Structure 1
């Protein structure tokens, strides 16, 4: 079974496709922006990468969301809830974690199925 990588660099790929599954690297928004702005940018990036891979948000299997502070949970969810396909929500977990820099407020990692 082949493996295809999208937007690869020396450290990581933004997406890896194996079989009928797409694995995205953790996506972040612009450092220093609000939780709403970062979440919006992240979801746009997820849409773009899933599209390049041959999938879309209706095929999400799993999402892991890391927040710099759980105090931002409702703000992030407001953007997520407007974006996620309500007929096909993924299994999801969210937690608080120190992110790569203090300027990142949100990081989202998803796994999706390919279009069949």
Structure 2
């Protein structure tokens, strides 16, 4: 069975199937922040979405992180590692992209287990 949660105009924010939850891309609300600030805000939003779906960051399976400026990757990594314990890191890919939208520096997609 597939369950869909938090519908937006173009997608469902969360889709659940067979004990796994899949999230659409998450961006910061405050695009005036630097890459570390945007990443911290995204991590907080992911925490809230995970809780809404009945999971937590301890159950993350995988992450895809899109960044528009690879010279700032270490700032993103700082926020990421402040948020996650080294023992709980999911698989991850960091992908450089030309443009994520006006002043958007980071977009994160995650999947997590429910149990």
Q: Any residues of structure 2 matched to 1:10-21 within 5 Å, and which?
A: 10-21=9-20
TM-superposed deviation, 1:3: 1.6
TM-score by length of 1: 0.91
User: Aligned-residue CA RMSD in angstroms?
Assistant: 1.2
Runs of 4+ in 1 over 3 A off after TM superposition: none
Q: Please tell me whether the aligned partners of residues 57 and 85 of structure 1 are also in contact (alpha carbons under 8 angstroms).
A: no
Q: Any residues of structure 2 matched to 1:88-103 within 5 Å, and which?
A: 88-103=88-103
Deviates more, 1:93-102 or 1:53-62: 93-102
Question: Hey, what does 1:47 align to over in structure 2?
Answer: 47
Q: Please tell me whether the aligned partners of residues 21 and 114 of structure 2 are also in contact (alpha carbons under 8 angstroms).
A: yes
TM-score by length of 2: 0.92
Distance across 2 between alignment mates of 1:102 and 1:96: 16
Q: For structure 2, which runs of at least 5 residues remain unmatched after alignment?
A: none
TM-superposed deviation, 1:102: 3.4
